Amino acid sequence: MLRNVSVRAEHWPLSTPFRISRGVKTAADVVAVTLIEDGRQGRGEGVPYARYGETIESVLAQVNALGPDLARGLTRRDLADRLGPGAARNAIDCALWDLEARLAGRAVAETLGQSPLLPLVSALTVSLDVPQAMGEAAARMTGATLIKVKVDQHDPAACLAAVRAAAPDAALIVDPNESWTIEILARLQPVLRDLKVALIEQPLSADEDSDLVGFESCAPICADESCHVAADLPGLKDRYQVVNIKLDKTGGLTEALDLLAQARAMDFGVMVGCMVSSSMSIAPAFHVARHADFVDLDGPTWLANDYAGGAVQRGAELLPPDGLWGVPDAAA
């Protein structure tokens, strides 16, 4: 067995800036991996995330270091022993899944014993801005039944109230991206209750989430930055009720499926999220998201242009990518 291995950085401009508590994005900068074997091509994408010390250059270096082993047939299970969780392993792992599907002539869904993918209700994200602008953004989300609201420590109550006024019937997820303290979280409980917030995602820094032990919240609290892989779960049980599975944190679909199974076994609720990315990242995440309580896969909807056959948002539902990843080649 000998594979051709290629890796490159890609730059996907956004149609509008995406703001969260720790900064603003105007483009999705990703690392794309392509593996070719016996004329079949498998692809995967990873999104380097500065929060975890990743850069485009560091992820490219990690993939390139494994290039010779990948060319000689490195498997997905071998990969977990060679590279830690993160964007590089995600891109490689997903490329291997895609390649396996195309070589076997069998879709990933079939390999997993699942039916073909169907549309999922996915959150639409209101990025951080002044309250009026956030309300206006929510008002444009016609038909949305689940809205994720990015906030920071500066008047989150006003931001949430503006979104709720514009979308009175949608379920709301509030995401401070680690910008709150336990005092802010406690002070906001009446507001969160009155606005019928359905989920609070990573309110405190992962370094400070021990403050959540014993805290009684009006809505479930979801671990994002505090949860990467299945081994993290035992330390989260007394702090969180839900975990957010992202393939760039788990290091690919292989570990994401393990995390899903372990989370369910330990009675955690499950959210499946994403970075701002192309549909190449979202396609494998659909295979986990179909089992989730909350889905947040609108990353590609922020792009000015996406892959042909990419995920499409229609009202409340996100349609899965069509033929982009994890399916047999048409000529197979």
- The CA-CA-CA angle for residues 138, 132, 301, to 5°, reads 35
Q: For position 1, what pLDDT does the model report?
A: 63
The pairs formed by 258-263 with CB atoms below 8 angstroms and a separation of 24 or more are 258/229, 258/230, 259/227, 259/229, 259/230, 259/233, 260/288, 260/291, 261/230, 262/230, 262/233, 263/230, 263/233
Q: Which residues contact 61 (CB under 8 A, 6 or more apart)?
A: none
Token pair 């409980």 is at which residue?
189
Catalytic (active site) residue 237: no
pLDDT score at 162: 98
Place of tokens 């609108």: 298
Q: How far, CA to CA in Å, does 4 sit from each of 40, 106, 107, 309?
A: 10, 21, 22, 25
Which of 234, 241, 194 lies closest to 215, judged by CA? 241
pLDDT number for residue 202: 98
Query: Strands 4-20, 23-37: parallel, antiparallel or unpaired by DSSP?
Result: antiparallel
The structure tokens listed for 252 are 């690919």
Query: What confidence score (pLDDT) does residue 22 get?
Result: 81
Transcribe 28-56 into DSSP letters.
EEEEEEEEEETTEEEEEEE---GGGT--H
Domain boundaries for CATH 3.30.390.10 within the chain: 4-105
* Beta bridge partner(s), residue 252: none
Q: Is 202 left (phi over 0), alpha (psi -120 to 50) or beta?
A: left
CA distance 110 to 108: 5
CATH 3.20.20.120, the chain: domain bounds: 120-319
Q: Do the Cβ atoms of 88 and 77 come closer than 8 Å?
A: no
Q: Which of 25, 148, 196, 246 is catalytic?
A: 246
Report residue 216 as tokens.
Answer: 């009684």
At 314 the pLDDT is: 93
Sequence-separated (6 or more) residues with CB below 8 Å from residue 317 = 119, 120, 121, 122
- CATH topology for 4-105? Enolase-like; domain 1 (3.30.390)
Catalytic-role residue among 148, 150, 196, 249: 150
pTM for this prediction: 0.96
Identify residue 275 by its one-letter amino acid code. Answer: M
pLDDT in tens, 7-31: 999 999 999 999 988 888 999 999 9
Length of the chain: 332
Low-confidence ranges of the chain (pLDDT < 70): 1, 330-332
Region 120-319: CATH code: 3.20.20.120
| pLDDT tens digits for range 53-108 | 999 999 999 999 999 999 999 999 999 999 999 999 999 999 999 999 999 999 99
Q: Which of 123, 128, 129, 98 shows the shortest CA–CA distance to 111?
A: 98
Q: If residue 317 lies in a helix (H) or strand (E), which one and from where to where? A: strand 317-319
Q: Are strands 242-245 and 23-37 parallel, antiparallel or unpaired?
A: unpaired
Measured CA to CA in angstroms, residue 264 lies from 247, 260, 277, 304 at distances of 17, 6, 27, 36
The conformation of residue 66, written as its DSSP 8-state character, comes to T
DSSP 142: T
Active site residue 150: yes
CB 96 within 8 A of CB 44: yes
Alpha helices in the chain (DSSP H): 56-65, 67-71, 76-82, 87-104, 108-111, 131-139, 156-166, 182-187, 189-194, 247-250, 253-265, 279-289
